[in-house]
Structure 1
Amino acid sequence: MSSTDIRGLDLHGLLSEPGAWSTVYTDGPQGEPPGAVESRMRSLKDRMRDAGIPDDDAEAILAVLPDDIGLPAPSARWLVARGGDIVADEGFASGRRGAERITHGTFPEVVPLLRHHGGERRILVVQTGRDGAELSLERLGRTDPEKVQHIEGEEHPITKVSPGGWSQARFQRSVEEVWQHNQSEVGEAVDRLVRAHRPEHIFVTGDAHVRGLLLENIGADALALVVEVDADTRADGADDTALVEAIDETTALAHGGRVSAVRDRAAERDAENGASGVNAVVGALQQAQVDTLLLDERMTDDRQTLLALPEAPWVAIGEADAFDAGPGVPMPAVEALVRAALLTDAEVVFLEDEPAEGEPREEAEPHPPLAALRWPAASITGDVPDGAQPGHPSQAEGEDPAHPASHDDPQEDGHPSQAEGEDPDRQ
């Protein structure tokens, strides 16, 4: 799943087009009375003015922010405006991840959006029973399911009884056949949803026997995604505690697996398949070489900046490695790295530090950026000497990226793309 595949948002367009973008990442509904909401909006307006957001953008944001879009409390909102129009508006069914962000600049800030999006993996919940099932296709962190399907199976006979006499065995076989038929219908629906929507996990609840019948009736692709939950959530008086715990545990393990996969791939071939540290990662991004970028969310607190470039290679450490891509715009390092990753079709994964409720946040330096590369490159594998710059995407083979040549005067030194032996005076 691409990091840019976010419910139809054109992130490439937002990030590649220089302009005057206003970005606000703030609290959504907090369960306050109307008077408190008005007070919070007045305070936000003052903060937007202090951040340099134009009045027309601020008014557009304040016009939609208090709207009830079905979010619970607490929640968060991410909005982008330009020229008095709302360009993007996303709500999240969880509190803010990190500090409030209010900025006005050449490019919008998208890290808060991606952090929430990374936790919104698609799952399928199948609550099955003898008489059918309810199938719910959901996004984690969203309040409303994307799709709900009810399977109403045959209703008679459903329950096994002991009528006695010669008909008992025949009656029991009839009940079992109804159960089997109903779960076959549920299995077909599960397979269709898996083919169409590709959920990452399928959580199946119901009594053990019915779950077993369902698993016999779904395809191999769906079966590989199944997590059985030992609970009958459709039974009278049942709650969904076991289901929620299974979803939380499974998705946490899956995210840990994605992080480990990036680290393992970056460590292959004596780390030639990876780039570690800001300088090395910038060099790999400049060559569109990054497949997956792993970032510690604590970088959002870092004051380091990089240059966001209006054209490829999209990011630079300083003007010396901007490669005539136009004037660079200083941005927080984490935003500049994410922007370059998205514009080169790299996946972005965040290493989250979310302490338990009531626990203090760990005080530690963030892990350095780490990239798993699309192809190995010994020239971009780790520490780059201070002041050295990585190579340009068009760098000649064998050229040392740590010691780029200076070409201040093409007549004296030759054009960077000049063929070996070519006379610079004969263009």
Structure 2
Amino acid sequence: PRVTPLLRSIGDPTPCLVAYVDRTGADFEVRDDAGRRETGQVSGADWPIHKTASADWSERHFQTAVENTWEQNAAEIANAAHEMWQRCGAEVMLLVGDARERKAVRDRLPGPLRAVTAESEHGARSTGSGSARLERDIAQVRAAHETEHVREVLDRYHAATHDDGGGNAISGVPALVEAAREHQIDTLLVTPDGQDTGREVWIGPEGDQLAVRSTELQYLGAARPAPARADDA
């Protein structure tokens, strides 16, 4: 079967964890090419949560308690977001909600998660708060992460092709066939319509049974080698 066109069409489906936050908690869902799926929620303290306008001493004390509730809830949301992110397999996260609440949660995220977290001012935790602008923000976050991932992989490849790369990068069908047989491929880069992608190689029923010539497969235990395009193989 042709495999390369399938890989080319699906791209890199980056899952995004969307956290709808407010002062009392958050709702989480994962967004990817398959759509959306709810993954859970977290609820913090719900009192005291609203400030008053009085300048009385007791009221100022109450407002301090409100501030403390907000801070505690933000910490709980951040912890829950980190656990959810690790469990659901998302690669990026988008915080949705009021600007102050988003910032409070983001400041409390662990460094690795904070580095892949973005914010959206479109939408809120309340039911039915989604919008076309929020959908656009989710799509942009996913696309930006995919672009950055491709750039990092290409940079790593180009660095490894130089003398200081330790010889960890190879190119060309014969070298790749040998690496595949030795189970030494970490990341495979295929250039669409490259000059070697349609080159004929030979394969057996096992994943590491590849050869440039059919006679080589006899030594690998393949009784009936079959021809295949190099990119698919």
Q: TM-score with structure 2 length normalisation?
A: 0.77
Distance change in 2, residues 1:263/1:320 (3 Å) = farther
Aligned residues: 225
Shift of 1:183: 1.7
**1:285 and 1:236 mapped to 2: Cα distance?**
50
**1:312 and 1:178 mapped to 2: Cα distance?**
56
Match in the other structure for 1:184: 75
Q: SS state of the match for residue 139, structure 2?
A: helix
Q: Look up the equivalent residue of 2:12 and give its one-letter code.
A: G
Q: How does 1:1-400 map to 2 (within 5 A)?
A: 110-111=3-4, 114=7, 119-136=12-29, 138=30, 140-145=32-37, 147-234=38-125, 238-267=129-158, 268=160, 269-270=162-163, 272-297=167-192, 304-311=199-206, 313-322=208-217, 324-325=219-220, 326=222, 327-336=224-233
**1:303 and 1:111 mapped to 2: Cα distance?**
11
Shift of 1:253: 3.0
**1:209 and 1:280 mapped to 2: Cα distance?**
54
Shift of 1:333: 3.0
Distance change in 2, residues 1:255/1:212 (3 Å) = closer
Shift of 1:139: 5.2
**1:156 and 1:312 mapped to 2: Cα distance?**
60
Report 1 or 2 for greater relative contact order, CA contacts < 8 Å, sequence distance ≥ 6. 2
Contact 1:190 1:222 in 2 (8 A): no
Q: For structure 2, which runs of at least 5 residues remain unmatched after alignment?
A: none
Shift of 1:127: 0.8
Q: For structure 1, which runs of at least 5 residues remain unmatched after alignment?
A: 1-107, 337-427
**1:153 and 1:258 mapped to 2: Cα distance?**
35
Q: SS state of the match for residue 233, structure 1?
A: coil
**1:118 and 1:130 mapped to 2: Cα distance?**
37
Q: SS state of the match for residue 90, structure 2?
A: coil
**1:132 and 1:178 mapped to 2: Cα distance?**
11
Q: SS state of the match for residue 310, structure 1?
A: coil
What's the CA shift string for 1:302-361, capped at 9, x where partnerless? Answer: 75543222347422233244353322112333221xxxxxxxxxxxxxxxxxxxxxxxxx
Match in the other structure for 1:402: none
Contact 1:120 1:139 in 2 (8 A): no
Distance change in 2, residues 1:116/1:189 (3 Å) = farther
Match in the other structure for 1:44: none
Contact 2:14 2:146 in 1 (8 A): no
Q: TM-score with structure 1 length normalisation?
A: 0.46
Shift of 1:173: 1.7
Higher share in helix: 2
Contact 1:233 1:240 in 2 (8 A): no
Match in the other structure for 1:64: none
Contact 2:21 2:27 in 1 (8 A): yes
What's the CA shift string for 1:17-43, capped at 9, x where partnerless? Answer: xxxxxxxxxxxxxxxxxxxxxxxxxxx
Contact 1:183 1:217 in 2 (8 A): yes
Q: SS state of the match for residue 182, structure 1?
A: helix
